[in-house]
Chains A and B, each alone.
Chain A
Amino acid sequence: MVSRFEYYRPKCLDEAFKLMAENPDYSLLAGGTDLMVKLKDNMVKPTAVIDLDGLQELKGINFEAGRIVVGALTTHTQLEQSEIINKHAVALVKAAGIVGSPQIRNKGTVGGNIGNASPAADTVPVLIALGAEVALSSKEGVKTIPLEELFLGPGRTVLKPGELITSISFKVATHQGCSFQKLGKRKALAISVINACASMEIDPETKVIKKVRIALGSVAATAVRVSEGEVLLEGKYYSPELINEVAEVVGEAIKPIDDVRSTAVYRKLVARVLVRRALEEAWSQIASY
């Protein structure tokens, strides 16, 4: 039997860029939990598989200038167990801890979860709600864009040939709550039927809601922000009635489809529940400061 592709494990980013340039039909391998399935099913036919595991610069979780910077190769298990993430982004801990199975979380990386561009990815709505930016590197340099601008459609991103995701970062905010909610068909190994994340920041003096981000997954071709709901909250005081109204508006605004996992009608109904729960929990986190 002849190998379908060559395998490379670069030791630094420059070497990775060189390999990408020399092998135009490359696939990047991070945790492999998505790529290996695509290879099995012949959904991708690379001539070269470039294993990123040797790139130390893509690993680790650090504070840099008031932001938390997560290396793209950080696994879901590492995210879930990180002290920094547990202290500052419990919603991300929850999302990372609910992806796939222990085996998948041990291998699958946050950069891979993003780069795979599944509309049902669990870490993506959380990172969008946290206002995350992704760093895209190529031999020309690094550019940083808001995460929500990365996605074009299922499996499609703005990443150009020769470019790769190197890190994801978000600002550490005080007086902020952030909650992730997922509905899957089982408690483990379940691709989200729908997921939602809401972050809320208040003015500590007046208690007025300053900033809200509501992001949902599995309701469109990409994870989406629902600004119709966000604007209803900003500049107001929290109240259960207002939360219910926002949940209604979000449920109306989204345009999910029928697919193998669920129906559009059901998703619109459940979106209301998940958004309400996410906002309630985000608020309770703020209230407990």
Chain B
Amino acid sequence: MSKLTINFVLNNQKMSAQVESDMRLVDFLRDEMGLTGTKFGCGEGDCGACTVIIDGQTANSCLVLVPQIEGKEVTTIEGIGSYEHLHPLQEAFIEEGAVQCGFCTPGMLLSAKALLDGNPNPKRLQIIRSISGNLCRCTGYTKIANAIEKVVKTKS
């Protein structure tokens, strides 16, 4: 079976790639693009560790085939800030102690970013709901929600 050529935007960069038709987006990002910030957890959409943003909406990249991103914009954790210039959410996570083992953090940050991009002034309950698809096995949810809330309050 043949490889497919797909065109898409990854972290604001236009890309073209040859892919196997049965490859999952999470494997493509990690193994082909070297973007290992996207974590692989359960592979079933239960944990949210592999969360990315596709055309403005969060998605579990373990539940997406690479050919499905043809013509779409994908944002991973590597696309929202750099070591020199962290995203305000990343700053807030550090300040609030919202990172423990760190495995859920990229997914948490992308879920939070998707929320704030669509609604800059979410209520606490909306914040909690926005990260309800991201499991933190260290159970640090309170500090994660605090960190997101801090960004909301700083902006407004």
- Residues of A that sit less than 8 Å from B by CB: 1-7, 9, 29, 32-33, 36-37, 39-40, 49, 51, 53, 77, 100-104, 106-107, 187-189
* Docked complex Cα distance between A187 and B51 (Å): 20
Contacts across chains A and B counted by CB atoms under 8 Å: 93
Beyond known contacts A4-B22, A101-B134: 12 more, CB 8 A cutoff: A3-B22, A7-B65, A9-B67, A36-B62, A40-B44, A101-B133, A102-B111, A103-B59, A107-B59, A107-B60, A188-B132, A189-B132
Contact size range, B: 20 to 34
* Docked complex Cα distance between A32 and B66 (Å): 12
Interface of A is mostly: mixed
Residues in chain B near residue A2, CB distance under 8 A = 1, 20
Within 8 A of A (CB), among B89-115: 111, 114
- Minimal beta-carbon separation of B60 from chain A (angstroms): 5
* Known contacts A102-B58, A103-B133, A36 near B63 by CB under 8 Å: yes
B37 within 8 A of A: no
Within 8 A of A (CB), among B1-54: 1, 4, 20-24, 43-46, 48, 51
Q: Is the CB of B68 within 8 A of A51?
A: yes
Residues in chain A near residue B46, CB distance under 8 A = 189
Residue of chain B at shortest CB distance from A97: B129
- Residues of B that sit less than 8 Å from A by CB: 1, 4, 20-24, 43-46, 48, 51, 57-60, 62-65, 67-68, 70, 111, 114, 129-130, 132-135
Residues in chain B near residue A40, CB distance under 8 A = 43-44, 62
* Docked complex Cα distance between A33 and B129 (Å): 19
- Minimal beta-carbon separation of B44 from chain A (angstroms): 5
- Minimal beta-carbon separation of A55 from chain B (angstroms): 14
